[in-house]
Structure 1
Amino acid sequence: MRSTDTAAPESADTGGYLFDNDAVDAAEQVRLLAAMLDGDTTAVLADLGIADDWRCLDLGAGAGTVSAWLADRLGASGHVTVVDEKPQHVVARDGMTVVAGDVNTTDLGRDRYDLIHARFLFMHLPRRERVLERAVAALKPGGVLVVTDCDASRRGDMLVVAPDPVAEVFTAFQDALTGIGVGNGMDPAWARRIPAAMRDAGLVDVSARVTNRLWAGGEAGMLLHDSISRQVEDGLLARGMDLAALTALREAMHDPDVWAYSWPVYTGVGVRPTP
């Protein structure tokens, strides 16, 4: 079942998001993110021992690949709800309801879900702790919250092999991109605080893992920079980059002799305590 209805909003307090699913390059961006991250995400989720009858919530689902993975593992009594402000890249299917809604304001309910998952979402929310508290309240006692974000505060450690002009452009791009995000309410260092935030929100049995890998030009982790640079080109130009530099960056992201790590990816897991 696919739905575009939303529950009554709790407030009008929203924050801007760095990317727009209506952008020309948005479909490519969410596809690349899925290619980069799904293996690690599904490994974490598989360790939870998902039961056939679980009720799951996927916040900010992107391409919807994690939602689909969950739906494949549920029985007829299980269900996945997707909440995304612009969910046009999510393909609805049996056992899944897709809701067009802003996670800042959409009512998530209480004591409703066995699992709530969010990836590359909370770091962009100006009032992320409030949304986290609402997500915890939406869990059933014993339910599990899984939050994944990247640490964009250590940008100087990313590039491994590249000619000098590319190194300078790559660093300028990362700095400008982060500046745009911060201007929209993003916290580049939030990912490292996920476990503490989960504890402060009342979750127990909190654990976390950090993953990263080396990417070569032409692979998903590098092509993502090309895609992002096109989506936020106006903002990059406003922060001092020029078209020649962006062209050099984009060409380098396809060069197999240019290597870089992605941003370190932190995944926190916490459980709502039972009475």
Structure 2
Amino acid sequence: MTQMALVIDLNVCVGCQACVTSCKEWNTSGESGSLADLNPYDADPSGTFFNRVQSFEAGSYPNADTIHFPKSCLHCEDPPCVPVCPTGASYKRKEDGLVLVDFDKCIGCKYCAWACPYGARELDEARKEMTKCTLCVDRIHDENLSERDRQPACVLACPTSARLFGDIHDPESVVSKAIEERGGYQLMPEWNTKPANHYLPRITTSASGCGSDACSCKGAGTALETPESLESLDAQLEHGQLHLASMATRI
């Protein structure tokens, strides 16, 4: 079965929020819109977003690190949000593996939001309907668009190409190759939801100069990222041990 998904490269994500704004712009005017913006220019704005980027500090000096972590619906292969829906509004499509919401059937009961361990669903306060990332389903299958444009808006907007899109069940796809070559991993696999979206860990390369034995700054208090420290951070990130589960599930 085809399973479309995102693969996000944490090594090059700079937390610029381009994916967030492009997602909001496209979806608020598309099949999923309109998406609420409440008090957008006040001190406490809120609203409906399908995609968010959470940035936080991890580790301690001199091995501190800033992590930019994009988060949206993971389009699980075994989505717990689907069977709990009392009206059948939440469903998983066989043709592309996307988990979607039929707004005409949604009654805003929030059962799916409670069932989702990743906090990927948001109730639109204006419409009183549950919303979520659709991987821009109204773009990716639109034959009126060029092949390049038949991708999610967030993928097209990313200035560092940190977001890849494709079929993870196709071994020749760009996403499958990236997962295999870079050790892509799923978020919180212990939930057994089989998230389709994967993350590529940060990597570093040893180079002569700064950090080498010949470098005058070594041992002088300069913050250096060692492979060991980053491996530890990535292991914690993968298993939600950097307060990611509590931060991301209900933000």
TM-score, with length taken from structure 2: 0.28
More helix by share: 1
TM-score, with length taken from structure 1: 0.26
